[in-house]
Structure 1
Amino acid sequence: MANSKKNIKISLLGVFVLFSISSTVYCFSSNGKIDKDNTLSYTQGGYDTKEQYQFVIDKYLNSLEENQADSLSVFQKLAFTYSEMREPELAVQYIDRYVKASSDVSFAGHSFFHNISDSESYQLLTDRYLKKVDLWSIFCLYVGFIGFFVAIVLNLRKRSDKVANLLMSLFVLLHSFFILHICALLTNYQYYFSHSLYISTSFSFLYGPLIYFYFKRVINKYVFKTIDLLHLVPTVLLIVFLLLPVYFLSAEEKLKMMLNGTVPHGALITIVKLMSLMIYGGLVLKIYIKSIRDKRSVLRFESVWQRNIVIFCSVYIVTYSIYAFLIISKIYSGFLFNMQVGLMALLVLYVSYTAFVQPSIFGSLKVIKTKPQNKLPVTKYVKSGLTESLSAELKEKLLYLLNEEKIYKQNNITLQGLSELMDTTRHNTSQIINEHFNLNFFELINKYRIEEAKELLQGEKHKKFNIIDIAYEVGFNNKVTFNKSFKKYNQITPSEYLKTFVA
């Protein structure tokens, strides 16, 4: 019996010794399990006094200084220990060092740090490394996808300037792509998709040329030449000499760059982009101001569109200047930092709004006929897909063609020809004339012809012309039709008008 008890005591002693030895060979990993082949141990909640914690910390620091242990393991143990001691600033310091050394951003969210989860320093750290979603990032995501959709729609317009629409669609597309990249930065997803590094930077020097050639196209009707490809040289140089070496790096190397803030050429690219924006912004402003001075004929809503784009681009250059200064100063957050992104988002939304509310800017929309509702009264245009805003826009365009272009002077003008000038259908043109002028096509044209004829008859030059000459001048093909129409609107013939009101 005595021997049996003695054997039991020896067995228990052996288990104790074995456990003691194993505790120095194994240690807890980041997920609370035991890791093998480490020389330092950590036991959560294993110490009662601050002196005991400090003793362990000194042991970790000494081993780090003497290179006796893996630095990653030491950073981890120090982060855990300071968290147990409720020292958030020191814990955060070693969490940060561990993340940068291991490229494991998820470590910042380890359950061992629940003791310091309410501290400001720890919340700032998790805000920097862990995935997150807020209203600002959702807004950027929304605008990015809207921009992609509109960029496609702009190229599907009928009877439009395909080149101008392509330039504007690319302009919107690049902005949208950049905004989506910003969304990845705001949500910290760039750490989980490290190949996104510099993904939108390739297009940095294209914003200026695109908007510049868009204005040259819509204002000067510019036709592209081979020499214009020189505007792509800065972009090619950027990609070949600065970005390709970065693109060919592994995901781990890119992640380390992002975590340690060693992303190359950031300030250089930002400064050159600012210079590009300023140069092309000046060229756009020059084209726009010249068009105003030359008093070129343009519809009011087109003039407003061009003016607003110029304003957007000018303000964007100012906000990007502030952004560039912050980048050089290594300030990557705050209202001023995000201001240029917000303005870019507003620009995308404005183009999107214009594309659907004022479609004539980019070409006509295809009219979609809707089925009449039973409750609505049956009218002549009940099946028309012409919206109120598009109706007002087409009316303004028609007035411009009548008052400025004086298309009624063309003796072969037809409803089809007028519809083509307005970039719409015959049905829409007829509806606009009926609803806004209470006339049909021929009545409207003849009314303007008669008013023009009256002005010519009252002028000093009328004495040099016969009445038939005036009839031909305003668009009539013969004197009979002219006299008949003139009398219809004035109750007297042209000859009687001359005797009564001119002579």
Structure 2
Amino acid sequence: MDKINLLVTISIIITFIALFLSFFLLTVKTAHKLSNRLFAFFLVLTAIDISANLGDLLAISLNVRVFISSFFFLQLPVFYLYVLSVCYSDFKLKPKHLLHGLTFLIANLILLPRFYAVDLESKISFLANISSMPEVQFNHILMHIQMAFYIVGAFMILRKAKKIYLENYAGASIESLNWLFQFTIALSAFYFIALVKNIFKFTQYPNISEGLKIGLLLFELIIIFWYLFKALNNPGLFRTIDSKLKLVQHIISEGKNTTQLAINEKEHNEELLKLQQYMVEKKPFLNPSLTIQDVSAAIEIPVRNLSLLINHTLEQHFYDFVNSYRIENAMEILKDDTKSKVTILEILYDVGFNSKSSFNTAFKKHTGYTPTVYRKTL
């Protein structure tokens, strides 16, 4: 009885928080409306899924209770679309994205003949023998296949987006991608535990499944709080990239096919010199949101050529290339005795960084020291 009360209590808390946060995301003024709406929808689906635990409390009919439990099939597809919307600034919902609801439709159609369309007595009999019902077994297999598909898909998107970002941008979005990667890992752990729970559900140890269910709810509560904390403390966290941008390896591959990749050595040296002079004289790296398109427009070198020059020829990501100039500038400030009272935080903003963690990481990568230790060694 205590376990049931605990399950209901946690379910009520998570449902309330999920709905409250979804309302906040839908009403807050932001440039990332689609991302907010998709994550709000994900939270609403989470709240609906959890509300199945409140069936006895809310006197929900068996049909509605089972239908609610099938909303799980929509959660990961919506999260997948959310990841796309966070990664790519030009992402838009299209009619083709309705295909992501196919498993939800299949799961319910399979239950139609022997559950939804029968009388109450047959429904009760169905639920009493639920572990042996082929429809339920099929839906659980479908559920786990879907989980693996969308989790792998989300990681692939994040991996590609990070590569594109490093090759074309020099701002702080890499932190948002890293955080979203961590968030996806947390969700992966959650769904893996759910998989284990479902396995025990069809064995002789259903009590283990119930115990894991309570643990999952607590884990879900922590994940939601984590997202809320991160979103509220970093309102500008998500800055997306253009999905039309190509990875350098793809540009090289296309160049081999079209025989337009190579430029002569003279042109190459001229472009490299032009780039280096621009970086030293104009100091564009002081702009924390600098992109490769900005540099391309300023020095009149096509983005494609500039990307190959930096990412392929110099064997540096644009992100690291720009940060190297920022670090060199920071080192000059740290060496200047007249600026000994300038704080590390002031320096990082002055040279184009907008995050202490990204500054420390880049500085240590470039010098082998943290900024504070480097200053002390001078």
Q: TM-score, normalised by structure 1?
A: 0.42
Q: Which residue of 2 aligns with 1:348?
A: 224
Q: Point out the structure with max Rg over C-alpha.
A: 1
The Cα shift of 1:202 comes to 2.8
Q: Does residue 306 of the first structure (1) align with residue 209 of the second (2)?
A: no
Cα distance in 1 for partners of 2:286, 2:138 equals 50
Q: Which residue of 2 aligns with 1:74?
A: none
What amino acid does structure 1 have at the position aligned with 2:191?
A: I
Indicate conservation of the 8 Å contact 1:164/1:218, yes or no.
Answer: yes
Cα distance in 1 for partners of 2:60, 2:71 equals 23
Q: 1:235 to 1:195 in 2, by over 3 A?
A: closer
Q: Which residue of 2 aligns with 1:205?
A: 73
Indicate conservation of the 8 Å contact 2:176/2:238, yes or no.
Answer: no
Q: 1:270 to 1:342 in 2, by over 3 A?
A: farther
Q: Does residue 161 of the first structure (1) align with residue 32 of the second (2)?
A: yes
Cα distance in 2 for partners of 1:192, 1:282 equals 35
The Cα shift of 1:351 comes to 2.9
Q: TM-score, normalised by structure 2?
A: 0.54
Classify the secondary structure of the residue corresponding to 2:31: coil
**Gap regions ≥5 residues in structure 1:** 1-126, 364-399, 411-447, 456-503
Aligned equivalent of 1:276, options 140, 146, 149? 146
Cα distance in 1 for partners of 2:194, 2:290 equals 41
Indicate conservation of the 8 Å contact 2:76/2:150, yes or no.
Answer: yes
Indicate conservation of the 8 Å contact 1:171/1:207, yes or no.
Answer: yes
Q: 1:260 to 1:228 in 2, by over 3 A?
A: closer
Larger RCO, structure (CA 8 Å, separation 6 or more): 2
Indicate conservation of the 8 Å contact 2:80/2:154, yes or no.
Answer: yes
- Deviation digits for residues 309-358 of structure 1, max 9, x if unmatched? 21112212321221232233264332335443433333333333334443
What amino acid does structure 2 have at the position aligned with 1:309?
A: F
Q: 1:182 to 1:142 in 2, by over 3 A?
A: same
Matches within 5 A, 1:181-330: 181-184=52-55, 189=57, 193-221=61-89, 222-243=91-112, 246-259=115-128, 261=130, 264=133, 265-296=135-166, 297=169, 298-299=172-173, 302-329=176-203
Q: 1:262 to 1:272 in 2, by over 3 A?
A: closer
The Cα shift of 1:252 comes to 4.7
Cα distance in 2 for partners of 1:175, 1:202 equals 11
Indicate conservation of the 8 Å contact 2:130/2:136, yes or no.
Answer: no
The Cα shift of 1:220 comes to 2.3
Indicate conservation of the 8 Å contact 2:86/2:238, yes or no.
Answer: no
Cα distance in 1 for partners of 2:152, 2:158 equals 10
Classify the secondary structure of the residue corresponding to 2:109: helix
Aligned equivalent of 1:146, options 17, 27, 33? 17
Cα distance in 2 for partners of 1:211, 1:253 equals 35
Classify the secondary structure of the residue corresponding to 2:92: coil
Q: Which residue of 1 aligns with 2:260?
A: none
Higher-helix-fraction structure:
2
**Gap regions ≥5 residues in structure 2:** 240-284, 296-325, 334-378
Task: Percent identity, please.
Answer: 18
Q: Does residue 175 of the first structure (1) align with residue 46 of the second (2)?
A: yes
What amino acid does structure 1 have at the position aligned with 2:192?
A: V
- Deviation digits for residues 349-390 of structure 1, max 9, x if unmatched? 333333444344579xxxxxxxxxxxxxxxxxxxxxxxxxxx
Cα distance in 1 for partners of 2:164, 2:142 equals 33
The Cα shift of 1:138 comes to 0.8
Cα distance in 1 for partners of 2:102, 2:174 equals 37
Cα distance in 1 for partners of 2:104, 2:176 equals 31
Indicate conservation of the 8 Å contact 1:316/1:344, yes or no.
Answer: yes
CA RMSD after TM alignment: 3.8
Cα distance in 2 for partners of 1:192, 1:319 equals 27
Cα distance in 2 for partners of 1:284, 1:277 equals 11
Q: 1:344 to 1:246 in 2, by over 3 A?
A: farther
- Deviation digits for residues 45-75 of structure 1, max 9, x if unmatched? xxxxxxxxxxxxxxxxxxxxxxxxxxxxxxx
Q: Which residue of 1 aligns with 2:287?
A: 402
What amino acid does structure 1 have at the position aligned with 2:99?
A: L
What amino acid does structure 2 have at the position aligned with 1:405?
A: L
Cα distance in 2 for partners of 1:142, 1:237 equals 31
What amino acid does structure 2 have at the position aligned with 1:151?
A: S
Q: 1:401 to 1:150 in 2, by over 3 A?
A: farther
Classify the secondary structure of the residue corresponding to 1:198: helix
